[in-house]
Each structure stands twice: as structure tokens, then as C-alpha cells.
């Protein structure tokens, strides 16, 4: 599993549907926006480790974690985190897990965060989305589990 974690001062995700744009997740104020990618070999145990790491990661103002200040997280599935553009001009997605593998693991990260007490908003798996955020810092960390 791979996650791009950004400290934000507000973030939202809008799903583009046939009936128009729909805000499906939003956090207000300080929190984390997390893009999560899943590869073929990832496990429920890695999802659990990622959730614990996100909840306790000291990225917020004053080196605090979400658990210390009850800050919200916006978690969005992002298969392109496993894109490979080392050759040619078009990325390949071979390392990204297909939806039936990836969706339950992203859902597991969210469920584990909520079980820890986190307020979690999400995107919509497989949808075309527009993510808006104010990166505070900027402060961005890449996590590989």
C-alpha cells in the first residue's frame, strides 16, 4: 500500500456523475488528505498498519497527530499512485490492483481509522473526482506499507 499524506487546512472531493457534480467528502479546518493506492500483494494487515500510522503520524501544527487533536481525515482511493512512467510517454498501471482487490482494502483503512476514533470522509471508489485542498505548509509525506 502506498499513501500520499498532505497536511491540509480544509479539503473536499466532488464526484462527477451523470446528474452533475456531487460533494461526497469534505473536511473543514486542520486535518489530513490521504490518497491511497493498492497493489496486488497488499493485505488487510497492511491496511490496519496504514490506518494506525495515519492516526498517530505527527504531521499537524505543533507536531501533533490526528489522534491528539481529533483532526479529521479525507481518504481517497488513487490507483495512479502505482503508475509507472519510467519508459515511454504513457504510464502503465500494471502494479495497481484491480477494483475488486483494491476497494475492500481502501474500505478497510477507513474502517480501521473509524474504529480508532477518527472522523473520516471519503471519495467514491472508481468515480471521476475533483479534489480540492489547501496544503498547509506545504507538508506532504509518502508512506509505503
* Residues taking part in catalysis: 78-80
Relative to beta strand 73-77, strand 120-122 is: parallel
What secondary structure letter does DSSP report for 61?
G
25 is written with which cell numbers?
Answer: 467528502
Nearest to 33 by CA among 126, 108, 109, 122: 122
Amino acid at each position: 500500500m502506498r499513501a500520499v499524506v498532505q497536511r491540509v487546512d480544509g479539503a473536499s472531493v466532488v464526484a462527477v456523475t451523470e446528474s452533475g457534480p456531487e460533494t461526497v467528502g469534505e473536511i473543514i479546518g486542520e486535518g489530513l488528505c490521504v490518497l491511497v493506492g493498492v497493489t496486488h500483494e497488499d493485505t488487510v494487515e497492511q491496511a490496519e498498519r496504514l490506518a494506525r500510522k495515519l492516526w498517530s503520524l505527527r504531521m499537524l501544527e505543533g507536531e501533533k497527530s490526528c489522534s491528539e487533536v481529533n483532526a479529521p481525515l479525507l481518504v481517497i482511493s488513487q490507483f495512479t499512485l502505482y503508475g509507472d512512467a519510467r519508459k515511454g510517454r504513457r504510464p502503465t498501471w500494471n502494479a495497481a490492483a484491480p477494483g475488486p482487490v483494491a476497494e475492500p482494502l481502501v474500505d478497510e483503512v477507513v474502517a480501521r481509522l473509524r474504529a480508532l476514533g477518527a472522523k473520516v470522509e471519503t471519495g467514491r471508489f472508481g468515480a471521476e473526482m475533483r479534489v480540492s485542498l489547501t496544503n498547509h505548509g506545504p507538508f506532504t509525506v509518502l508512506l509505503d506499507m
